[in-house]
Structure 1
Amino acid sequence: MTAKRIENGLMGLAAFLLLALMAVTGIDVIGRYLFNAPLSGAFELTELLLGALVFVALPLVSRAGAHVEVDLLVSVVPRAVSRVMGRMAAIVSAVVLAFFAWRLAVLGITQVTDGARSVSMGVPLAPFAFLGALTCLVAALFGLMREMRP
């Protein structure tokens, strides 16, 4: 599977999650103010969908190189040094993201074992941890691919 296909799949999933977030919020607001009957579990659904959206967007930001950067030294160091600094930052970021992926996978396994579910709606939490683990790995790879190209 190519990086472009993965990127397109992530964009589609992010769009779906954003649409779902807007639908939940819209239904909740309309129900609350027009019918005095808010959507049950809307707050919890919003939390879960927003968390998933952040993780799905992470690799897209890494692929685009759109992370927030502080480039105090870039203008005063030679281009070759700047390139090496960028590669070092990509490696450190990849290591940190791989660590996050590992810890999220461990968390997901624990949640499967314990049968962890959300409080009000009983949504299983493990898939969200596994999604976070997978997207952290993809973000690490995208970041490395971006900075390590010739």
Structure 2
Amino acid sequence: MLRILSGGLEIFSGLLLVALMLITGVDVIGRYLFDTPLSGAFEMTELLLGALVFAALPLVSQAGGHVEVDLLATVLPERIGVYLLWLAAGITAVALLFFAWQLYGLGLRQAEDGTRSISLRIPFAPIAFFAAASCFVAAIFGFVRAARK
């Protein structure tokens, strides 16, 4: 199940990245060659970049790609290093679950208020819900990674 979810996030992240490149390319070519920039390109870029960050967050947690300072792990016995790994996974999971909870609440408020982007009128609630789910999945992936070590 986690492997399927991970693969889906990898594909989705790649599609978001391609969309960002296409929008930027069309906007730059339109702006400088035809004096007609892509309408809403800045807003689309902002939203897609935010979605890309949250789409990649669980993948980074799964791969252990977060910045880690292991000054103590190199001088302490290996047994204690395992406990430190679990402690770090627990603290990270608590932080990610807090973010998920806050983003879910934000999504509910945005859905209730009908909050949308300024120029393209894209609703914000689905993005907030996606970010909340992504933080939740990242917390799970972090624990799974700790359990494998």
TM-score, normalised to structure 1's length?
A: 0.97
Please list, as runs of the form range in 1=range in 2, the aligned pairs for 1:62-141 lying within 5 A after superposition: 62-141=61-140
For 1:132 and 1:9, locate their aligned partners in 2 and report how far apart those are by CA, in whole Å: 15
Query: After the TM superposition, which parts of structure 1 deviate over 2 Å for at least 4 consecutive aligned residues?
Result: none
Alpha-carbon deviation of 1:75?
1.1
| Cα RMSD, aligned residues only | 0.8
For 1:73 and 1:110, locate their aligned partners in 2 and report how far apart those are by CA, in whole Å: 43
Identity in percent = 56
Residue number in structure 2 paired with 1:22: 21
Aligned residues: 149
For 1:44 and 1:27, locate their aligned partners in 2 and report how far apart those are by CA, in whole Å: 14
For 1:112 and 1:78, locate their aligned partners in 2 and report how far apart those are by CA, in whole Å: 51
For 1:46 and 1:80, locate their aligned partners in 2 and report how far apart those are by CA, in whole Å: 46
Gaps spanning 5+ residues in structure 1: where?
Answer: none
Secondary structure in structure 2 of the residue aligned to 1:122: coil
Residue number in structure 2 paired with 1:46: 45
Alpha-carbon deviation of 1:71?
1.1
Once the two structures are overlaid, the 10-residue window that deviates more, 51-60 or 64-73, is: 64-73
Secondary structure in structure 1 of the residue aligned to 2:16: helix
For 2:29 and 2:85, locate their aligned partners in 1 and report how far apart those are by CA, in whole Å: 48
Gaps spanning 5+ residues in structure 2: where?
Answer: none
Amino acid at match of 2:128: A
Alpha-carbon deviation of 1:74?
1.4
Alpha-carbon deviation of 1:72?
1.1
Alpha-carbon deviation of 1:148?
2.1
